[in-house]
Amino acid sequence: STITLSPSVQPGTYSSQYQLQRDDPLGNWNITVIASSSGGNSGSSSQSVSVQPAQIIVQNLATYNSFGSPTSDFSPGDTLYATFRIAYSGSGFLTTGTYTIQIRGPSGGTLPDTLQAIYDPNRGLFYTPSGFQVSSSDPDGSWQLLIPASSLSDPYGNTGPSIETTYRFQVH
């Protein structure tokens, strides 16, 4: 595409900015500047730059109960639901996709059960519609929800989070 350069405060200097879009291709870009003057002088210069993926960040991972009340304390028979937002490192939020949350028991092992999170445009966040039902056979103690490092991606090649994201909750 073509971008018009505007004169800067310093004579003979021109500049412009281009805001990268999330769907711009990743990799090497070649930027070429072509200039000419009314006196017949002209020239060009090229520069290669590398466009890297944005980092995806999990924000506000939290739990709530079947009444919709935020809580991190659960007992057998309760159903745990999770919500969170996915932000881009530059700006903006991811609003599409289905993402998996793992569950880690008090012994540190990851359960075979997982939660699937989908986006709710009314609340502006991802949520787990099915929830995780706490069983009477589940041990008491400190549990965790876990989103592993680099387990999230968008259609444009952006990935994250850079480190695992966890949220502790208690089973009594």
Q: Quick check: 59 and 84 in contact, CB under 8 A?
A: yes
Provide the pLDDT for residue 21: 84
Is residue 1 predicted with pLDDT exceeding 80?
A: no
Mean pLDDT taken over the chain: 94
Given pLDDT bands bounded at 50, 70 and 90, which one contains residue 144? Answer: very high
Token pair 């090497």 in the structure block, residue: 28
What is the CB neighbour count within 10 angstroms for residue 154?
Answer: 19
Q: What is the pLDDT of residues 41-50, one digit of tens each?
A: 999 999 999 9
pTM of the model: 0.81
Both tokens of residue 76?
């057998």
**Bridge partners of residue 88, in order along the sequence:** 56
